[in-house]
Amino acid sequence: MPIYAFSGNDDLRKHEALDAEIAKWESSEDGSPVRETHFGEELNAAAVAESYQTPDLFAPRKSLVLKNFDKVNAAGQKLLEAAFQSENPQAAVFLTLEKFDGRSTFAKSLTKANRLFEFKLPYDNKIPAWLMERAQQRYGRKLGMPEARLLQDIVGNETSDLDHELEKLDTFLPKGQAISLESITDVVSPLKVHVFFEFQKAAGMKNPRDFLPAMRNLLDNGNEGFLAVLRLFSHFLTLTRIRAMLDEGASEQAIEEACKLNHFIHVVKERYLDQARTRSLPRWKQLLARLARLEWEMKQGRYSHRFEVEMAMAGVALA
- pTM check: above 0.75: no
Residue 143 phi/psi, 5-degree rounding, is: -130, 115
Q: What is the pLDDT of residue 12?
A: 92
For residue 192, pLDDT beyond 90: no
How does pLDDT run across 39-56, given as a tens digit for each residue?
Answer: 988 889 999 999 988 888
Bridge partners of 6?
96, 117
One domain, residues 181 and 228: no
Would you say the C-alpha torsion 210, 212, 190, 243 has a positive or negative sign?
positive
**DSSP codes of every residue in 210-277:** HHHHHHHHHHHTT--HHHHHHHHHHHHHHHHHHHHHHHTT--HHHHHHHHT--IIIIIIIS-HHHHHT
pLDDT band at 107 (very low <50, low <70, confident <90, very high): confident
**Which residues have C-beta within 8 Å of that of residue 295, sequence separation ≥ 6?**
226, 229, 230, 233
Count CB-CB contacts under 10 A for residue 154.
22
Q: What is the mean pLDDT of residues 103-124?
A: 87
Question: What is residue 175's three-state secondary structure?
Answer: coil
Of 158, 188, 218, which residue is a domain's last? 188
One domain, residues 295 and 220: yes
Chain center to CA of 270 = 26
For residue 239, pLDDT beyond 80: yes
Environment class of 139 (CB within 10 Å of its CB; exposed 0-12, middle 13-18, buried 19+): middle
One domain, residues 142 and 212: no
Q: How far apart are CA 163 and CA 161, in angstroms?
A: 5
Domain limits at 138?
124-188
Of 134, 162, 188, which residue is a domain's last? 188
